[in-house]
Amino acid sequence: MKVLTHEGVLVTLPFSLKGLKDSEFERVDGGGGSKVGIVAELSEAAVRRAVSGAVGDYSTPREMMNDIRFIARSLSAVEVGAEIRLQKTGDRIALVVPQNARPAQRAVTVGARVVFNGRVSPKAAVNARGSVESINGKKAIVKLDAGDRRRLTQATGRDYPESITTAVEFLDVIEDEQS
């Protein structure tokens, strides 16, 4: 799972802005804020341990995990080691990712192995894999891998067909063991 860290400590979105500037992440160890978060790869178990020992006056471990999962989805195509900043506009918070922190993406073509990126909806489809069967303009028909199709069906309660139509912008080309 991709997370943000500061000096080796997990950071998350700010729950209270007491003592923190509007553009700072909150450290889960209670050590204040950080203007920048460094992308790191941690196991879900390590993240859960850090969150369960978190110091937070205004948040629960469940709320922290939800925010950390939001961050992980947003960082799915970001290089490990990249510096990410936080931008707050009114009530909205956005992660600012430098353009050079994202690897160059290959064009989606018929027959390509693809993964659904963080822009897809429902979010349960993030990281689902499949193969492109056809492309028509900005739409593609993707044959989902059987395991991901089952996972989507369980997560959403909706029976997904073997092949689905989606926007090309929701797909990233991958090279995996099935290529």
pLDDT band at 136; cut points 50, 70, 90: very high
The mean pLDDT of the chain is 85
Q: Rounded CA gap, 174 and 92, in Å? A: 31
> Is there a contact between 71 and 42 (Cβ–Cβ < 8 Å)?
no
pLDDT digits (tens, 9 = 90+) for 46-66: 998 888 887 666 678 888 888
In contact, 44 and 78? CB cutoff 8 Å = no
Which is more confidently placed, 14 or 79?
A: 79
What is the C-alpha to C-alpha distance for residues 109 and 132, in angstroms, rounded to an integer?
7
Pairing relationship of beta strands 25-27 and 9-12 according to DSSP bridges = antiparallel
* Domains of the chain listed by start with CATH number: 2-100 (no CATH), 113-173 (2.30.30)
What strands lie across the sheet with 25-27, from one edge to the other? 33-34, 25-27, 9-12, 2-6, 36-41, 83-89, 92-96
The token duo for 86 is: 């936080």
* Residue 61 CB-density burial (10 A; 0-12 exposed, 13-18 middle, 19+ buried): middle
HEC profile of 70-119: HHHHHCCCCCCCCEEEEEEECCEEEEECCHHHCCCCCCCCCCCEEEECCC
Pairwise CA distance, residues 171 & 83, whole Å: 24
Instruction: Give dist(CA 54, CA 48) in Å, integer.
Output: 10
What pLDDT score was predicted for residue 179?
Answer: 42
Is residue 83 a contact partner of residue 99, using CB atoms and an 8 Å limit? no
Please give the pLDDT value at position 92.
Answer: 75
Strand 129-136 versus strand 139-144 pairing type: antiparallel
* Segment 64-119, tens digit of pLDDT: 888 888 888 888 778 899 999 988 777 777 888 887 887 767 789 999 999 998 78
Q: What is the DSSP letter of 168?
A: G
